[in-house]
Amino acid sequence: MKLKAVALAALFAAASPAAQAAEIRVLMSGAFKAPMADIKPLFEKASGHTLVLDADTSGRIAVRIGKGEQSDFIISTSAGVDDLIKTGKVLPDSKAAVARAGVGVVVRKGAPKPDISTPEKFKQALLDAKTVAYTNPASGGQSGVYFVKLLAQLGITDEINKKAKFGDGGPVALIVAANNAEMGMQPLPELLAHSDVVDFVGPLPAALQSYNHLTSAIPSNSKQPEAARALMKFLASPAAQAVMKAKGLEPG
């Protein structure tokens, strides 16, 4: 009887959440860094798992995973995930939409806010600013790649790049806060995360807006695929969705 009781106790211990707890390595786009910081304790409390977070540009995420870096869960662009699926670096059935992030504008704390309500007024605001900051497209950040195309569309590439200050995948808001640029453009969650040191002007005009469609997936070399799927499911929960909304993300 004593041996049977010990065996049953061991069985229950093995089945307990603590025994099954996993450490999940997460590599995510910078646009999801602020939301995930608040989602992390909610998920850890609900699941018993632990998240180890790392943020980078979507371009560098593709390179890192493509070279075989071990990660259990990624959040990147939809196109980036598709490319990794094609090369066998991500499990094909693990792709899931998380949210979308539009691009916005910030200025220094207390500085006058330019009118960016229309494409024409946004263009004029860029021309009027002495310095403009945005993500260096060479870093692989989607907002930086898009902004280069937008400047060409507006016909002001040369004028703006003469006074541009590039963020290398880090917070553009901090470049503005340090008085190194008058205006800064980046995905909304990355800007709102620094609302204590910059003032949010607003999103780009609807006609010029570009959305970063954040998508999750599980790398083929994940050591914790089941725990990663639990995280994927949690990101669709009302609790996680509420955090995303508060941080400037939209469904889809």
Specify the pLDDT at position 169: 66
Chain length of the chain: 252
φ/ψ (deg, to 5) at 98: -110, -55
Pairwise pLDDT comparison (53 vs 7), residue with the higher score = 53
Burial 14-45 (b: 16+ CB within 10 A, else e): eeeeeeeebebbbbbbbbbbbbbeebbeebee
Q: pLDDT band at 17, cuts 50/70/90? A: very low
The answer to whether residue 94 scores a pLDDT higher than 50 is: yes
What does the block give as tokens for 225?
Answer: 């695929």
Q: How far apart are the first and last CA of the chain?
A: 56
Average pLDDT over the chain reads 91
Q: How far is CA 157 from CA 7, 52, 118, 121, 185, in A?
A: 72, 39, 19, 16, 15
The answer to whether residue 7 scores a pLDDT higher than 60 is: no
> For 120-171, how does the pLDDT look when each residue is reduced to its tens digit (9 = 90+)?
999 999 999 999 999 988 887 888 889 999 999 999 999 999 999 987 767 9
The answer to whether residue 5 scores a pLDDT higher than 60 is: no
Specify the pLDDT at position 77: 92
What does the block give as tokens for 246?
Answer: 């508060």
Model-level pTM?
0.76
The answer to whether residue 29 scores a pLDDT higher than 50 is: yes
Whether residue 36 contacts residue 9, with contact meaning beta carbons closer than 8 Å, is answered with no
φ/ψ (deg, to 5) at 86: -60, -30
DSSP of 56-84: E-HHHHHHHHHTT---SEEEEEHHHHHHH
Distance CA 252, CA 242 (A): 14
**Highest CATH level, class, for 2-100+213-246:** alpha beta
Pairwise pLDDT comparison (2 vs 163), residue with the higher score = 163
Q: How far is CA 164 from CA 31, 56, 192, 248, in A?
A: 21, 21, 21, 25
Specify the pLDDT at position 11: 40
> For 180-222, how does the pLDDT look when each residue is reduced to its tens digit (9 = 90+)?
999 999 999 999 999 999 999 999 999 999 998 999 999 999 9
Q: What is the mean pLDDT of residues 18-36?
A: 89
Q: Where in the chain is the domain with CATH 3.40.190.10?
A: 2-100+213-246, 101-211
> For 30-83, how does the pLDDT look when each residue is reduced to its tens digit (9 = 90+)?
889 999 999 999 999 999 999 999 999 888 999 999 999 999 999 999 999 999
Whether residue 220 contacts residue 89, with contact meaning beta carbons closer than 8 Å, is answered with yes
Whether residue 107 contacts residue 201, with contact meaning beta carbons closer than 8 Å, is answered with yes
Specify the pLDDT at position 212: 87
The domain over range 101-211 is classified in CATH as 3.40.50.460 = no
What does the block give as tokens for 241?
Answer: 């969705």
Specify the pLDDT at position 20: 82
